[in-house]
Amino acid sequence: MRNAPGIQNVAWKKYFQWDGGVFNLDLFPVHPIENPNEMDETLENVLNKLRKHAQYPGLFKAAFGTEEITTERFLKALSQFQLMFISAQSKYDKVQRNENVTFTTDEQEGYMVYKQKCASCHAEPFFSDESFRNNGLSVKNQYDKGRALITLNDKDMYAYIVPSLRNVMLTPPYMHDGRFETIEKVLDHYATGMIDSPYLDPIFKKQNPIGIPLTDREKYVLKSFLNTLSDTEFIRNRMLSEF
Ligand code: HEC
């Protein structure tokens, strides 16, 4: 039903999932393990598999003192690992920290367009203010009511958490259901593709037609800026890789 979000900078996040249905990193894994759309497993069965595994009991002993694999240890180990997923070495970060790196003129112009037209929701430094909003996507799945599935409040209908734009150029497809394959389609959506509804965020209703007006030049420089948010040190970190 949903597009899997990347794991990054989770130490600072208050909410997880597109609808914020999980708000504690330690408890997060229970959801994908037991969700029929994801692993469709039981926590107990997963723990039993680890207990019978050739390596894991020894690894738990090294970390916790004994070989015992309990729910608490299992969840704490997973959280601790996920806390290592820190993305803070992009070109953008280096420019912000004055590490002798500067934006090109296109990137700088894109940064200005971003600050004017995107930053109210995709706010620095995480590139999300962690609010839940509706950005005018057509409803393709009437059962996925977004944040309203959690709060049961009509005002949250079809609202989703503002996703971070860090590493965004590396993580198509886009939006909660992955409907856009390219960043160009995302920008076209903001400029000319929005669907009006009572749930649409008021920011997009300020202009007529609704949305965020973007010229071809603005789209071009915005892409240059978004590229500066790609953190190759992070995505190539071997400690976080299976290979
Ligand atoms: C009023 C708040 C708001 C503003 C302003 C806004 N966005 Fe968004 N953006 C969102 C929300 C909410 C989503 C997630 C919507 C969903 O999936 O249902 C989103 C999703 C995205 C995504 C998809 C990311 C992913 O990982 O799937 C991109 C890319 C994006 N926005 C870029 C921009 C750009 C570029 C601008 C400025 C031109 C902008 N946004 C302005 C609220 C906003």
Quote the percentage of the chain above a pLDDT of 90: 95
Q: Which residue has the tokens 């590229």?
A: 227
Q: Which residues line ligand 1 (CB under 6 A)?
A: 117-118, 120-122, 133, 135, 137, 160, 162-163, 165, 168, 171, 174-176, 186, 190, 201, 203, 212, 222
pLDDT in tens, 218-228: 999 999 999 99
pLDDT in tens, 92-128: 999 999 999 999 999 999 999 999 999 999 999 999 9
Contact assessment for residue 136 and residue 204, using Cβ atoms and an 8 Å cutoff: yes
Distance CA 161, CA 121 (A): 10
Distance CA 152, CA 170 (A): 34
Tokens at 27, concatenated = 């408890």
- For residue 194, the number of C-alpha atoms closer than 13 Å in the C-beta half-sphere is 23
Close Cβ partners of 103 (under 8 Å, ≥ 6 residues apart): 91, 95, 111, 225, 228
| Closest Cα to atom 13 of ligand 1 | 162
pLDDT in tens, 160-182: 999 999 999 999 999 999 999 99
pLDDT in tens, 49-76: 999 999 999 999 999 999 999 999 999 9
CA angle 35, 38, 39 (to 5 degrees): 85
Q: How many residues does the chain have?
A: 243
Distance CA 64, CA 117 (A): 48
Q: Is 236's pLDDT higher than 80? A: yes
Higher pLDDT, 40 or 1: 40
The closest-lying atom of ligand 1 relative to the alpha carbon of residue 3 is 27
The closest-lying atom of ligand 1 relative to the alpha carbon of residue 134 is 12
Ligand 1 centroid, distance to 238 Cα (angstroms):
30
pLDDT given at position 91: 98
